Structure formats: structure tokens, C-alpha cells
Chain A
């Protein structure tokens, strides 16, 4: 049985971007708003963000939004759109104060103001020296943002549909008219009609094996848009965070280096001085991750297989470790049995953050093509969106800035859209494609399991579509992913029930990853240069002449099409990047 709902605005996803958007909408009581999420909101992965949220408050030392903008542009390897970046860094100041007003328990400095600390790639006077810009609540800043936003949504009586899994959008003559969701509890379908729909569904890090991402980060929103012919922008730009716990990938925050921690190779050398003489361990993440791999390839790794390096905090005062970075040092104890006060912690780069995603503009409107035509009624914000403020590489802390700034901005745009537009009609059979897809999965009785195919995808993505890439590796990867897609059409889903059928849902989630992985590999194969998170062994230099442009991968009936669109450059012309 299908149940129908009608809301002015719906928000899909309950992380920082989704909740910030919902809060903005909830200020307008005449608009009916609902948040639909496959998780209970406090489970969202915003809560895993650790180190801080940057804004040029200047609470510790002089700072300015121009410097923040310059650092973000430089960090993006000049692929970020500068109009969007300027908007974001200016709005960051106001939005951080708004979070404080909502109750967020930031750490404080001696004057009682919000405390700020150093972070990778953030500098004063256009790159001269590190600056204290990251506002923080110990090393659980994301946790406090998520909690604070959820609490304020409860205060404003936002309507939540928790554990409802959105599986499709409903289009009507080019406009998005609502979504179709499956209720986890009983497996029934729900159709939500809405004037405006926001996707804030997060990233897709689970296509890699070693990742900091939650197991629920399966690119659901990006995949849904992509199947509807909306481009997937800049998929080849994926960030590998330098410090993931060895083998597990759990994140060791950059705040550890912000507080003075250093990367060390197997020979006991602090190697970042070689790669970034100026900012050293606080160079941007792509630079640090590449440096780690260069060390490993030179045989300077640690352990029997020389396949990891260390983050070293032994020289830091114990009270800094206990008060400024307690959670992450706890991870080392729990998962590795390593005491960071006396031993260096084994780490390796970990798949962390999607710079690419659903193309959007500054108003969080989803864009349909390279001419930036908006899709009426459709919005996206946060990691699933590509504004693009992060370009080829995101700076630490800027993801939290992104979600709250563009979540709020999206909410404001949706208010305006709802006031100016009526509902678009929902065709009577709008839920049919989803029903058929579910039925297809229920019928599957093949030999392969999702578990095996997932393991194969994870292995090949780590090997061929990781920090360093080659023509051969990427060619193999595209071929292999397509084979996996074929095999996936006949896996086995044994649970045929409806009640809390998590096996079925996980199988559908993984299908999203497998679909998007192809676009990542295809775009990476096409881009013959190295820029930010995309490093090619065979094309080690950045090539602005040919590649200063965004990729758009479009799924068509004839296969994948690659299109490109220009980067918006306003204040800062591309120059060679040095840290």
C-alpha cells in the first residue's frame, strides 16, 4: 500500500546541511516542512567531524575573509568557483555566531570568546604562516554541530520521518515534484509531494576499502540525480585524508597536526619539511597524502610490509592530548592498542571526502547542464553537492563551513520558491519505477553476494583509483567496474520479507556506489593532469591550458557522456601551488 504525504518543503538527509536547511524553513511557520532520513538524525556522519569549523572571527589573532578565501582557492588547486567561495567565507562568520547563539558549546579563549586553532592550509597574509581560524569544541566539533542543530529542530517542532529511505525523485515536465521513500519498518512505499526538495544526503566514500566514512555513505542522492540525467560534477576529485588509522581508515583529525603533531616515516624522520618547507605538516591534505605515498614508495614506510607511516604526538604536553584531542587519541587506544603519549600512531591515507557531486549554484539550486540551467524545485547542499567551493581539494574545516552555509542558504532559497510557486502534480504511477526496482531485487537468486562484489569493488578502487592513478590502472578499473555491474544484476537477496529488511536496503545502497564508481573512474581516466585530489603518475603536472575546467559526467541511454564547464575566476588567477 502506498501512502501519500504533502509538504511545502522536504529535506532528504539529516546531517548538518539537511538540519540547517530544515531549521531555516522552520522559521516560516506557514510552510509545512519535513525531514526524511534513512537514519535517526544524531546518527548522521556530520557527527564524526572532529577538528573545527573555520571562520575569520579573528578571536586569537588578526584574520580576514580575504585570507580565508585565498587559502580555499589555493587549496582547491584553483578549481574552486571563486564567486561561491567568496560567498561562503564571508557567510561563515555570521553562521558560526548563529551556531553559538543556538547553544553550540564551543571551546573558549581567555576572553571568553570562541577559541580557534590552526588547521591545514589555513594561513595569514595570503599563505605566509599558519593562522588560528578553526573554531572548535574539543575534537568533536561535528558532533556538537549535529547535536545543536537536531536540538533546535526539536525546539521548532520540525517533522521527522526517521528511517525512511528515499529511493527516487518524481519529475514532472522538468520540475522535481517530490520523492518516493521506503519505510524501513514495514517496507511500505511513501510518496511525498513537495514544492521544493532538498538533497543533503552526504558522500560516497564506501566505494573504497580504507575509508573514514560511515557504512551508510553510499552516494544515494547523487545516484538518484545521476539516473535522472543530472550531471555528476567532478567525480575524479576525491580527497584522501592523510591520517587514517592503519587498515581501518578511521580518521585521526588534522587537529592533531594543528596542535603540533607531526608525520613521521619508518626511519623516524619528520618528512613534511621536504615537501612543504613553509607550512610543513599543515600543508593541504592532497599534498600530505601524496607525500606519504612518495615516502612509502621510497621504502621509508614502517612495519613488516613498510606500508604505513606514523602520526607522532609524543612531544606534546599531556594536557593538550587529554583536552584538545581526547577522542582521536582514544581511537588509537581502542583500535590499535597504542598509547599516543608514548608511542607514534600507525596511519595511512584514507578515503574521506567527495569534492564532486550534484552540480549546484550559490542558492543551492541543482543545475541540469553545462549552461547552468536550474532544475525547478530541486536543491542540494553539503557533501552530495558540488557548488564548487572545494574544487580539486577541500581544506580541513571547510566541509563544516559548507554544510551550514549552503544548508541555510538552500533553506532561504526554498522559502522563496515555495512562496512563488504552487505544487507540481504527481503522476498516479510515480512510485512504479521504485516498486519495480525493489521487485527486481527480491527476484534475484544468483550466485554472487553483495558482500563479495563490494569487497571486489573496494579492492580495485583502493588499488587503481586511489591517491596515485595511471592510464593502465584506470582503464582496468573502468572495465572491471562494468563487469561488476553486470554481475550485480544477478546477486542473491535472501531475505524476501518486508519487515526491517536491511539486507534488501543495503543491496540497493551498494547499487548506488557501483553506479557512481564507474563515473569516478571514467572521469579520472579522461583527466590527463594532476590537480588536488586527482594525481596521475603519467601526468604529474597541473595543466591549466587544457584542464582548468569542471567535469560533468552524464548518464545517457547510449552510455556515459563527458562534458566540461569553465571555472569561475574572480580575484585570484591560477599560479603554481607551494606550501
Chain B
């Protein structure tokens, strides 16, 4: 057991005029997930009962609980106390409107995702069995299939903070997943959208997204490949 000081950014528009910090000290095993500490606070501690946050699978695959933990975007369920130390601050991810406490409005994020047509676009009818694809062709876009749409990358991006109209890294990651899929025939329309004013060129190669990704996707590299595809066509 270790004693940790937990500081959480709270805000409930129904009762609070502005956001504030709430602090608690508690003893937890150092292998405890941050999400478990939040659940413990909410369930057992005076004054924390309404704490609002999203969580579901609690092992890093559903993408519900991206938060700003000690200044870095991470999943609360993939972050153990021992990873961040005994003084822990938790804030909502930045750049999306805070609804309540750690829970933000995800609608703009999903709208951006949809704008890039994240589905397989093909001409003609499908064969009777599967379309063929070599293991090498499949490998080209493997990394970007891992995205869980948690928003950690987009909400760590200074270009997105400055301009919420920027499509953001998560959307580009998912565009990459289709642009480099040998079965897909929609890359032209996707690249055209990405080539517009609030498209891919807002990316200034800051690497925050790559650092933030809880799935270890090489996001900046993927964005670079898409930029190259716009400039010179797909390799």
C-alpha cells in the first residue's frame, strides 16, 4: 500500500459556477489502476459520489477513459499508480467541451471521424468468397487498425487546441487505415478532403499524438505517409 494524493478537476454545470480542484488522500496498492482509484473515490468517499467519468472495459481496448493524468493524455485503466507516482492529478482531455468533471463532449470527435469516410470503398460487386490480399499488403496498414478512438491523440495536439475545425490525428489515422488498404478504391476522395484548409496540413509534426497514443500507434509516421501520398501519390 502507498499513500497517494489525488487531485481531480471537478465541474458540474448544474451546481458549479466554474471548475475547481478537489483533493483526497488515500491508501491504495501501487499496482492499482487510476480508474480503480476514481471508482473507489466515487463509491466510498464523502463528497465524491457524483464524480462523472466514462469507463467500460477497464483494460485499454474500449477507449472510454482517456484523461489528462499528470499532464499527459493516457487511459486511466492502463495507468497504474506506480507509473505516475504518489501525487496524481487528473483532468479532462483538452480541446473538447467539458460536460461534467472528466467527461467531455465526444460528438465533434466522432463527426470528424465520419467526415473521412472510414469504411471500405470499392467499385463493382464483391467476389463470392474473400477478396485476396497478400500478407505484405495487409501489413502496410496494420498499425493504424489498432486505433480505439479514445481521442488521446487529437486532444494532445496543439494544432487541434488552436483550431477545433482541424480534423485531428485520430481522423487521419483512420483515413490511413483505408488509404493504404490494397482492397480500397476511395483514397482519392479521402486525400482530397485531407488536402483542404482544415485537413492534414494543420499538422506541424509535433509528435504529441504519438506520445499520447495508448495503443503505441506510430501516428506521426502514418500522417507523414498520408502527406506523401497527397504530394506524390501512393508508393
Q: Which residues of A contact B (CB under 8 A)?
A: 39-40, 42-45, 47-48, 57, 97, 100-103, 105-115, 137-138, 140, 143-144, 147, 151-152, 154-155, 185, 214-216, 248, 250, 327, 331, 334-335, 449-452, 493-495, 497-503
Contact = CB atoms under 8 A, between A and B. Distances in A.
A501 B15 CA distance: 12
Contacts of A250: 59
Given A112-B133, A214-B56, A500-B52, A42 B62 contact: yes
A105 B62 contact: no
Contact of A106 (B53, B100, B119, B130): B130
B168 to A, nearest CB: 16
Contacts of A137: 145
A500 to B, nearest CB: 4
A495 B50 contact: yes
**Which of B50, B126, B129, B130 has the most CB atoms of chain A within a 10 A radius of its CB?**
B130
> A-B pairs with the 3 shortest C-beta distances?
A451-B43, A103-B120, A112-B132
A475 to B, nearest CB: 30
B12 interface: yes
B87 interface: no
23 contacts: A43-B57, A45-B56, A45-B62, A101-B130, A103-B184, A105-B181, A108-B134, A113-B129, A113-B130, A115-B135, A215-B57, A215-B58, A216-B56, A250-B59, A334-B78, A335-B33, A493-B49, A494-B50, A497-B50, A501-B50, A502-B50, A502-B53, A503-B49
A42 B62 CA distance: 7
B117 A155 contact: yes
Interface string B101-145: 101001000100010011110000010111111110110011001
A451 B44 contact: yes
A43 B120 contact: no
Interface of B: 12-15, 31, 33, 39-40, 42-44, 49-64, 78, 80, 99-101, 103, 106, 110, 114, 117-120, 126, 128-135, 137-138, 141-142, 145-146, 148-149, 177-178, 181, 183-184
A264 to B, nearest CB: 23
Contact of A500 (B31, B103, B133, B138): B103
A499 B184 CA distance: 43
A108 B57 contact: no
Contacts of B57: 43, 45, 47-48, 214-215
Contacts of B59: 48, 248, 250, 331, 335
B14 A43 contact: no
Given A100-B130, A106-B130, A137-B145, A450 B43 contact: yes
Given A143-B146, A214-B57, 4 more contacts: A100-B131, A215-B39, A497-B50, A500-B52
Contacts of A495: 49-50
B119 A152 contact: yes
A100 B103 CA distance: 35
**Which of A103, A214, A331 has the most CB atoms of chain B within a 10 A radius of its CB?**
A103
A416 B15 CA distance: 49
A497 B119 contact: no
Contact of B99 (A102, A152, A500): A500
B12 A113 contact: no
Contacts of A335: 31, 33, 59, 80
A105 B145 CA distance: 8
Contacts of B80: 334-335
B36 to A, nearest CB: 10
A39 B63 CA distance: 11
Contacts of A503: 42, 49-50
A48 B119 contact: no
B12 A497 contact: yes
Contact of B61 (A39, A57, A114, A143): A143
Contacts of A502: 50-53
A449 B118 CA distance: 43
A40 B142 CA distance: 24
A41 B117 CA distance: 17
A101 to B, nearest CB: 4
B137 to A, nearest CB: 8
A495 B39 CA distance: 15
B135 A107 contact: yes
Contact of B62 (A48, A110, A498): A48
Contacts of B15: 497
A152 B178 CA distance: 13
Contacts of B118: 151, 154
A135 to B, nearest CB: 9
B172 to A, nearest CB: 16
A100 B15 CA distance: 49
A108 B135 contact: yes
A154 B183 contact: no
A90 to B, nearest CB: 15
A42 B130 contact: no
A101 B126 contact: yes
Given A214-B58, A449-B44, A47 B148 contact: yes
Contacts of B53: 502
A553 B161 CA distance: 54
Given A42-B62, A498-B14, A499-B100, A113 B119 contact: no
Contacts of A452: 44
Contacts of A108: 132-135, 137-138
B61 A48 contact: yes
Contacts of A45: 56-57, 62
Nearest to B107: A162
A270 B103 CA distance: 46
Nearest to A113: B130
Nearest to A245: B59
A501 B53 CA distance: 10
A152 B78 CA distance: 29
Contacts of A40: 64, 106, 110
Contact of B135 (A57, A109, A147): A109
A334 B99 contact: no
B122 to A, nearest CB: 8
A278 to B, nearest CB: 31
Nearest to A212: B59
B14 A103 contact: no
B62 A47 contact: yes
B74 to A, nearest CB: 11
Contacts of A449: 43-44
A107 B129 CA distance: 15
B138 A105 contact: yes
Nearest to B144: A105
A469 B181 CA distance: 50
A43 B49 contact: no
Nearest to A135: B130
